Amino acid sequence: MAASQVGKTEVGLNWIGYIMDHDPGPILMVQPTLELGRTYSQQRFSPMAEASPILKGLLKDPRSRDSGNTIFMKEFSGGILRITGSNSASALAGMPVRWLFLDEADRFEGDVGGEGDAVLLAIQRTATFSNRKIFIASTPTIKGFSRIEKAFAESDQRYYWVPCPHCEQLQVLKWAQIQFPDGNRKDAFYQCAHCHKPIYEHQKGPMLENGKWIASAAGDGKTAGFHVSALYNPHGWLSWGDIAVEHGQVYKDPFQLKTWVNTKLGETWEEITEKLDGEGLMDRREVFGPFLPAGVVVLTAGIDVHPDRLEAEIVGWGRDEESWSINHIVISGDPTAPTVWDDLDNLLLSTFSHSRQMDDLPIFAAAIDTGGANTMQAYAFCRDRQDRRVWGIKGIGGMGKPLWPLRASRNNKGRIPLFVIGVDAAKESIYSRLRIKTPGPGYCHFPKDRDAEWFRQLTAEKVATRYLKGRPIREWKKPDSARNEALDCRVYAVAALHGMMNMGFRLNVEADWQDKIPLKEGIDVAVPVESPRIEASETPRIVATPPAEKPRWLAGRRPGWLERGR
């Protein structure tokens, strides 16, 4: 159980190389998905094998016919390496293996093809070998649901103890001992837990060289467990100062702090159990004015499709994903007819006046749910608007699913780029930020005229736990009588923002540039303001304001990022 980028996968690579050379046999290597398995094979295993004369000699040329050296299958004398993803039921239920490597197990499928947990299915492949060995490595996730946390708890729980360069007393490196002089996080140092003297980054080398693993529990008698955080990074890697700076950027935002705790400390995140109250959120509503708030950098939209209407929320995003709900609109009508889609098109072409002395902002990206009613109509609408970043999306639940995928799928009837988004990750982000009570990173602003029903919909779902073959599974549930359209729209607006980020958009970089632009005359930055609300009607007709000059990120400042993400 460890932080990200501290060498977990490298340990597995070296182990596989040793097996191939010294103790050959059948090996199964499992990544969270088949796509990540492909990436692992091409970018990690193949370069290692190519650079090692011994391993290179064990593998045939992949360009030769029937070489037995493919992306997912590597044959060598006395054995075979199979690389797969936890989402492939056939691979997990296939050949028996003596050696098993499970990489990033906390992000594995909870139920593969209805056959059960991916980790248990993979471990079952080793049952016929009495001399089997299983290596599980992962950055942890949520307390009580983390596979690697459970495995580590069953082990002898070894931590790496290092000597202080001053008093030579051994200690486990802890975040609580990181100090920064005068609040300057970049110059962070480690304070010895015994002599309290400062330890600086350049002193790490001898500490790590002279450290040792010490078990802290008896365990089950057969499992060795190791924990290491990013605080142990060698000098020249991510430094204590870098880790402290990142903490300063995220500690006020629970969603980002969770990622920091998982990926930097290598620890599980204990979720807040406080119930979200829609009525309590109403008390935070603000009186808005005629312009977009000064902090809004970009606008996105999330659109939910129903048999008798479209619902959309336009969200303004600022530094550190502080958000403003600009508008929520219901476009009534039959989505099988073109009228509602014409109205939606007009809405997405609208531009909004800003509090700063700058061009009006367009809705820069939109995510439209295609998984519900009128799928083919949604496909058709998105197909012709890809250049405007109107994206067709489909939500999928489950822990470990990324909020926005690395690439789109075209395996759909509409033959459009379809983005499968992790709705659980989006909902966790939204709910954690709804709990933030102070404007700033992650805080959510709402207009005074937003009604109670909208807030009830926004907070309609709750996290529940069910057990699948003994393993706890987290699920988002809503009462059968409740409506959740407001939450769905916000999920899709969040997804659209992350789609932009996947294309190279950097919110805080744009915020730095925008902060230099003065406010319009008579506007006080301390007063929250918003664009005029677009009123819904039975058959709304939304007249779009012709777009002004392209936003700065489209006008040539960084022309590459848009083309790369298309």
Report the alpha-carbon distance of residue 403 to residue 423 in Å, rounded. 7
Burial (CB < 10 A; 0-12, 13-18, 19+), residue 488, is buried
279 lies in some domain: no
* Spatial contact of 108 and 84, defined as CB atoms under 8 Å apart: no
Cβ-proximal residues to 186 (8 Å cutoff; 6+ apart), any chain: 180, 241, 242, 244, 245
Give Cβ neighbours of residue 116 (< 8 Å, ≥ 6 apart): 468, 469
Distance (Å) of CA 267 to CA 129, 230, 329, 393, 440:
33, 11, 41, 32, 26
Q: At which of 93, 123, 139 does a domain end?
A: 139
Report pLDDT digits (tens) over 225-270: 999 999 999 998 999 999 999 999 999 898 899 999 999 999 999 8
What is d(CA 32, CA 86) in angstroms, rounded to the nearest whole number? 5
For residue 273, what pLDDT is reported?
62
Q: What angle do CA 153, 155, 158 make, to 5 degrees?
A: 95
Q: Is the pLDDT of residue 443 over 70?
A: yes
Query: Mapping DSSP to helix (H, G, I), strand (E, B) and coil, where does residue 335 land?
Result: coil
Look at residue 444 and tell me if it is in a domain: yes
State the residue for tokens 């919909």: 457
225 found inside a domain: no
Cβ contacts of residue 544 below 8 Å, gap of 6+?
346, 347, 349, 350, 351
**Are 311 and 184 found together in one domain?**
no
Q: Do residues 257 and 357 share a domain?
A: no
pLDDT confidence tier of residue 112, bands split at 50, 70 and 90: confident
Q: Residue 403 is part of a domain; what is its CATH number? A: 3.30.420
CA distance 58 to 408: 36
Q: Measure Cα distances from 198 to 54, 181, 367 in Å.
A: 45, 11, 50
Residues 347, 243: one domain?
no
- Alpha-carbon span 312 to 363, nearest angstrom: 12
Q: Is 376 inside a domain boundary?
A: yes
Q: Is 282 a domain residue?
A: no
CATH number at residue 109: 3.40.50.300
pLDDT exceeds cutoff 70 at 33: yes
Nearest-CA neighbor of 1 among 271, 270, 261, 272? 261
Q: Which of 43, 47, 67, 65 is nearest to 56 (CA)?
A: 47
Average pLDDT over residues 31-38: 91
Secondary structure class of 266 (helix, strand, coil): coil
Residues 246, 325, single domain; the answer is: no
DSSP label of 390: E
Q: How confident is the model over 139-179, as pLDDT tens digits?
A: 999 998 999 999 999 999 999 999 999 999 999 999 999 99
Q: Does 134 lie in the same domain as 168?
A: no
Q: Could you tell me how many helices (H) and strands (E) the chain has, helices first?
A: 18, 22
Residues 39 and 79 in one domain: yes
Residue from 311, 278, 276, 282 nearest 450 by CA? 282
β 390-396/361-369 pair status = parallel
- Asked if 546 and 499 sit in the same domain, the reply is yes
Average pLDDT value for the chain: 87
366 Cβ contact list (under 8 Å, min separation 6): 300, 301, 302, 303, 348, 388, 389, 390, 391, 496
- For residue 300, give its domain range: 295-565
Q: Which residues are CB-contacts of 188 (< 8 A; sequence separation ≥ 6)?
A: 178, 179, 180, 239, 240, 241, 243, 244, 245
Nearest 5°: phi and psi at 559? -65, -20
Could you tell me the two tokens for 91? 């691979």
Does a structural domain hold residue 155?
A: no
For residues 318 and 103, what is the distance between their CA atoms, to the nearest angstrom? 35
Answer yes or no: are the C-beta atoms of 310 and 339 closer than 8 Å. Answer: no
> pTM for this structure?
0.79
Instruction: Kindly state whether residues 10 and 90 are assigned to the same domain.
Output: yes
- Split at pLDDT 50, 70, 90, the class of 549 is very low
List of residues 6+ apart from 172 with CB closer than 8 A: 159, 160, 161, 162
Please check whether residues 436 and 559 belong to one and the same domain.
yes
**How sure is the predictor about 471, in pLDDT bands with cuts at 50, 70 and 90?**
confident
Of the candidates 248, 300, 210, the one whose C-alpha atom is nearest the C-alpha of residue 441 is 248
Q: Is the pLDDT of residue 98 over 50?
A: yes
Number of compact structural domains in the chain: 3
Task: Say how far residue 55 (Cα) sits from the centre of its chain.
Answer: 35
DSSP string, 423-492: HHHHHHHHHHHHT--SSSTT-EE-BTT--HHHHHHHT--EEEEEEETTEEEEEEE--TT---HHHHHHHH
Secondary structure of residue 560 in the 3-state scheme: helix
Cα 545 from Cα 448, distance rounded (Å): 25
Q: Which of 193-197, 441-445, 472-476, 552-556 has the lowest mean pLDDT?
A: 552-556
Query: Are 419 and 551 part of one and the same domain?
Result: yes
Instruction: Render pLDDT for 198-231 as a digit per residue (tens, 0 to 9).
Output: 999 999 999 999 999 999 999 999 999 999 999 9
**Between 95 and 204, where is the model more confident?**
204
Crossing angle (nearest 10°) for helices 423-434 and 485-502: 110
Please indicate, yes or no, whether residues 403 and 256 belong to a single structural domain of this protein.
Answer: no
Same domain, 115 and 192: no
Is residue 313 one of the residues assigned to a domain?
A: yes
Q: What angle do CA 525, 531, 532 make, to 5 degrees?
A: 135
The rounded distance, in Å, linking the Cα atoms of 128 and 11 is 25
Tell whether 34 is covered by a domain.
yes
